[in-house]
Structure 1
């Protein structure tokens, strides 16, 4: 019972703020949460760079091929971080939620939810970096198959990016076409 009273007091306190202030505060939190997705690309690109360096050390004659595969793969691994950055920038500079009519708490929660959804980008970033690292290793072992290795790596990375794209869609729906407001 005490927990329920705390929640009610907390919600009443939140609702005491101006509508726009509450939504902007939630948007700031959502933007910060969205950027947590940068963890994945950081880990993935670090893995790819480490494997690229290892591949060059393993076969210096194939260093050019291994480095090319690593760089291409690491660039793709950054996409989930870029998607999260787009959502964070929209929440901070082009926030469509401010102009929507509806329950303030639903709109504020939507802003936070948009940011939280982008945390999904951690997975694709790590997975794509792993693929880039393995691609660099393969190119060092068999440099004559560089184009085949890149093709397979990019195809796998494209599939791995799907969850990051799903998160972007949910974030954009929460910000631009919020179906929850229509239920009010």
Structure 2
């Protein structure tokens, strides 16, 4: 029972601040949460680069083709990190929640939720990097098949990006068209 009193006391204390200050603080936390999504692209791009180095060591004659596939695939793997960065920048520099009238607690939770939603970008970053690594590896083995390999890799990466796009949609809804404020 004491823990529930602590939570109630904490929430009462939190709501004693100016609503704008609460929303700004939550937005800063949300922006930080959003950037956790950068873990996925980092892992994915590292995997692609590692597979590129491995492929070139096995077939140095395919350096150009292998490097091009690795760079293209790694660039695509970065998209979920870029989406998270956009959401973080919106919350820091153009936050539409700051001047909203309504329940400050809901607006605060929406700012944090928008950032948390972007964590879903970890999966696409890793998945796209894995596809890039495998595409790079395949190109190293069969450089003459580069165009077919790239086409297949890009289709797979596009499908892998869908959860990152879903996260972006939820974050933007929470920031710009928050349906929770009208309930």
TM-score tier (shorter): over 0.9
Alignment of 1:77-156 (within 5 A): 77-156=77-156
- Offset at residue 98 of structure 1 (A): 0.9
1:44 aligns with 2:55: no
Matched residues in 2 for 1:72 and 1:172: separation?
Answer: 28
Structure 2 residue aligned with 1:32: 32
- Offset at residue 54 of structure 1 (A): 0.4
Matched residues in 2 for 1:101 and 1:87: separation?
Answer: 21
- Offset at residue 131 of structure 1 (A): 0.4
Matched residues in 1 for 2:165 and 2:44: separation?
Answer: 17
Alignment of 1:12-31 (within 5 A): 12-31=12-31
- Extract structure 1 runs of 4+ deviating beyond 4 A: none
5+ residue gaps, structure 1, are none
Structure 2 residue aligned with 1:68: 68
Equivalent pairs, count? 183
Matched residues in 1 for 2:50 and 2:100: separation?
Answer: 47
5+ residue gaps, structure 2, are none
Matched residues in 2 for 1:102 and 1:180: separation?
Answer: 10
Matched residues in 2 for 1:132 and 1:57: separation?
Answer: 17
Give the secondary structure class of the aligned counterpart of 1:153: helix
Deviations 1:41-98 (A, max 9, x none): 0000000000001001111111111111000000000000000000000000000001
CA RMSD in angstroms comes to: 0.5
1:173 aligns with 2:173: yes
- Offset at residue 4 of structure 1 (A): 1.4
Structure 1 residue aligned with 2:160: 160
Matched residues in 2 for 1:142 and 1:174: separation?
Answer: 47
**TM-score, with normalisation over the residues of structure 2?**
0.99
- Offset at residue 101 of structure 1 (A): 1.6
Matched residues in 1 for 2:168 and 2:100: separation?
Answer: 20
- Offset at residue 112 of structure 1 (A): 0.3
- Offset at residue 139 of structure 1 (A): 0.4
